[in-house]
């Protein structure tokens, strides 16, 4: 179980060393587009207050692609999981710039209310 805890980080590029590690890694993720975008925006507002809307948008898109994009560092170890299905949906959204911008603008406006 100790190895499972060590292995569960999203930034860990190595496959978990055992089945428990895969389960813990999956359980520690919640891949849902609005939630991920909101958390990214919240982090940006708290840590980069000098950025304007365009700057926050660029930072958000860069982060989403770096972590969740088709070549992102987040790895899903259980291919039939809900996380795997939701990550594929997020890949589709990342490719749809218009829809992604609409979601970003809606959430940023909500966070600034």
Q: Which pTM value belongs to this model?
A: 0.80
Distance CA 6, CA 25 (A): 10
16 lies in a domain?
Answer: no
21 lies in a domain?
Answer: no
Of 95, 96, 83, 97, the residue nearest 35 (C-alpha): 83
- State residue 70's pLDDT score: 96
Containing domain of residue 42, as a range?
31-112
End-to-end CA distance of the chain: 43
Tokens matching residue 35: 């939630």
Q: Please count the structural domains in the chain.
A: 1
pLDDT tens-digit readout, 6-44? 554 555 566 665 666 666 666 667 799 999 999 999 999
64 lies in a domain?
Answer: yes
57 lies in a domain?
Answer: yes
Instruction: Judge whether 56 and 64 are in contact, CB under 8 Å.
Output: no
């Amino acid at each position: 179980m100790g190895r499972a805890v060590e292995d569960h980080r999203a930034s860990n590029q190595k496959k978990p060393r055992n089945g428990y590690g895969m389960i813990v890694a999956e359980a520690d993720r919640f891949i849902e587009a609005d939630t991920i975008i909101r958390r990214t925006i919240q982090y940006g507002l708290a840590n980069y207050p000098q950025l304007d809307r365009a700057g926050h948008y660029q930072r958000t898109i860069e982060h989403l692609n770096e972590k969740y994009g088709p070549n992102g560092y987040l790895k899903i170890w259980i291919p039939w999981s809900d996380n795997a299905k939701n990550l594929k949906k997020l890949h589709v959204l990342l490719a749809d710039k218009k829809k992604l911008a609409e979601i970003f603008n809606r959430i940023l406006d909500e966070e600034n209310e």
